């Protein structure tokens, strides 16, 4: 099953394994991509994946977080992307650009920026974002955000990418409107399930109207929000308590999925959990040491960011690991059952995301009809030739990914690569691998 081609609309993937969306500081400080970005992405294509879903390209030109991530918020980014994507696609690999706006979940900035606090409603969140509080967007802000997605989708099409994906997951802005624990508005953009969905509805209509009916268009959607994970301090406490602790449940998100099908979305990319990193998005242990590094990069941007970094350094690592590690564990194919429900109930092609590495698990998921494609990132960062291993008959790599989440926690602060010491004979060997991932052309 893995090596059977699969088509959605006019796009045919040569096999069923995709590189999932994963961030990395591989562009210039102005966001323009060059050979380093191209070579990083192309390594997965050379490794045999059927398609790549890009890092989340920011659609808002003011929220440039993290630095050196590629945005697509202005026309200057199109031509360099077109050149790089053409070379990536020359391998036979398909390329999809994922669009998003982090809203208040913007991770870092050069200087404190008031627009990095924008969200569906006012509030406080200790773990995600660097601003002291999140602030409700005005009607004008919301409509501008809708236009930002439409403008970005047109640019995606101009790059020659095979399709566009909008993230309504990961705790990003659209997710902040969908989630009842965060969206406490009492206007046309919040309150009921229908009004919370309105922002995504308008974004989908705008994007589809810009790219036309034949262009591949998918949505990354969280099946359930798991607001109680990871351990966090969020204010205000909201009623009913299930909105605060759970957020959306499967009943609500299936309704979203059905609406998305009617609106002309072509596929769903299913995960779960609100925020990044999150135990349901990147199953495995909580990376305490790497979290310290990341929070240090933002501690100068506000009082909350400073207190957060100081607190994490004040707690001994075993205490931090015990406290903050609640709910963090590895579970293979963690969102596969959710993907199966969406595939059956909604009737769109479905990508399953989270915790894949073994061929037998992927083959079983495809054979049993639980999903149509499988996406992974950490396992491919550890072993970029994993698909070639499967082609040769192997079930898993010789030195498998441990799902330690060190790479996920370093995406905003360090060159992307594998940071698991147990996988390398020495620190020098680990460093060489990291740098090899991030080299430009000679």
pLDDT for 64: 79
* All residues at 6 or more sequence positions from 311 whose CB lies less than 8 Å from its CB, including other chains: none
Does the pLDDT at position 442 exceed 80? no
Q: What pLDDT band is residue 67 in, cutting at 50, 70 and 90?
A: confident
Quick check: is 442 in a domain? Answer: no
Does the pLDDT at position 28 exceed 90? yes
% pLDDT > 70, the chain: 100
305-311 contact pairs (CB < 8 A, 24+): 305/130, 308/126, 308/127
Split into its structural domains, the chain has a count of: 1
Q: What pLDDT band is residue 401 in, cutting at 50, 70 and 90?
A: very high
Q: For 170, list phi and psi in degrees, rounded to 5.
A: 65, 15
Strands (E), 257-347: 267-271
pLDDT digits (tens, 9 = 90+) for 191-206: 999 999 999 999 999 9
pLDDT digits (tens, 9 = 90+) for 416-432: 999 999 999 999 999 99
Quick check: is 179 in a domain? Answer: yes
Quick check: is 1 in a domain? Answer: no
Q: What dihedral do alpha carbons 23, 426, 358, 277 form, nearest 10°?
A: -30
Domain that holds residue 115: 6-437
pLDDT digits (tens, 9 = 90+) for 343-376: 999 999 999 999 999 999 999 999 999 999 999 9
Quick check: is 315 in a domain? Answer: yes
Report whether 390 contacts 380 (CB < 8 A): no
Handedness of CA 145, 54, 88, 162 (dihedral sign): negative
The three-state secondary structure class of 119 is strand
Q: What dihedral do alpha carbons 274, 276, 279, 281 form, nearest 10°?
A: 80
Does the pLDDT at position 66 exceed 90? no
The three-state secondary structure class of 97 is strand
Q: Which of 241, 243, 248, 245 is nearest to 225 (CA)?
A: 248
pLDDT for 247: 98
pLDDT digits (tens, 9 = 90+) for 80-130: 999 999 999 999 999 999 999 999 999 999 999 999 999 999 999 999 999
% pLDDT > 90, the chain: 98
The CATH number given to whatever domain includes residue 192 is: 3.20.20.70
Q: What dihedral do alpha carbons 68, 74, 76, 79 form, nearest 10°?
A: 90
Site of tokens 């360099």: 80
Report the chain's mean pLDDT, rounded to a whole number: 97
Quick check: is 253 in a domain? Answer: yes
Does the pLDDT at position 65 exceed 80? no
């Amino acid at each position: 099953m893995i090596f059977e081609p699969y088509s959605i609309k006019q796009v045919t993937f040569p096999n069923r394994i995709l590189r999932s969306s994963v961030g990395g500081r591989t562009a210039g400080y102005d966001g323009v991509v060059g050979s380093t970005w191209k070579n990083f992405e192309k390594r997965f294509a050379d490794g045999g994946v059927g398609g790549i879903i890009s890092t989340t390209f920011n659609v808002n030109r003011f929220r440039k977080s993290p630095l050196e991530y590629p945005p697509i918020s202005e026309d200057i980014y199109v031509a360099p992307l077109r050149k790089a994507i053409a070379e990536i696609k020359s391998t036979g690999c398909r390329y999809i650009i994922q669009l998003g706006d982090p809203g208040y979940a913007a991770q870092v900035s050069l200087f404190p920026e008031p627009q990095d606090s924008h969200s569906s409603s006012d509030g406080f969140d200790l773990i995600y974002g660097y601003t002291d509080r999140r602030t409700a967007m005005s009607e004008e802000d919301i409509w501008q955000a809708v236009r930002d997605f439409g403008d970005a989708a047109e640019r995606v099409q101009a790059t020659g990418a095979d399709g566009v994906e909008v993230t309504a997951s990961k705790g990003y802005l659209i997710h902040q409107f969908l989630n009842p624990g965060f969206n406490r508005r009492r206007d046309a953009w919040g309150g009921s399930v229908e009004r919370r969905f309105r922002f995504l509805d308008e974004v989908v209509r705008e994007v589809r109207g810009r790219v036309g009916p034949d262009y591949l268009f998918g949505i990354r959607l969280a099946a359930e929000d798991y607001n109680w994970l990871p351990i966090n301090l969020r204010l205000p406490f909201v009623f009913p308590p299930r909105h605060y602790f759970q957020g959306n449940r499967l009943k609500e998100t299936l309704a979203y999925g059905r609406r998305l099908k009617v609106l002309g979305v072509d596929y769903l990319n299913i995960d779960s959990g609100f925020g990044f990193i999150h135990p349901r998005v990147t199953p495995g242990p909580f990376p305490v040491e790497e979290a310290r590094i990341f929070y240090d990069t933002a501690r100068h941007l506000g009082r909350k960011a400073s207190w957060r970094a100081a607190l994490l350094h004040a707690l001994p690592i075993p205490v931090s690991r015990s406290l903050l590690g609640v709910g963090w564990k590895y579970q293979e194919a963690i969102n596969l059952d959710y993907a199966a429900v969406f595939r059956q109930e909604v009737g769109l092609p479905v990508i399953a995301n989270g915790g894949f590495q073994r061929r037998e698990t992927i083959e079983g998921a495809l054979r049993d009809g639980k999903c149509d494609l499988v996406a992974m990132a950490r396992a491919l960062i550890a072993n970029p030739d994993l698909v070639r291993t499967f082609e040769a008959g192997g079930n898993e790599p010789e030195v498998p990914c441990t799902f330690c989440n060190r790479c996920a926690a370093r995406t905003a602060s360090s060159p992307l690569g594998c940071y698991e010491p147990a996988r390398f004979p020495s620190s020098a060997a680990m460093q060489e691998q990291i740098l090899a991932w991030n080299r430009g052309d000679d």
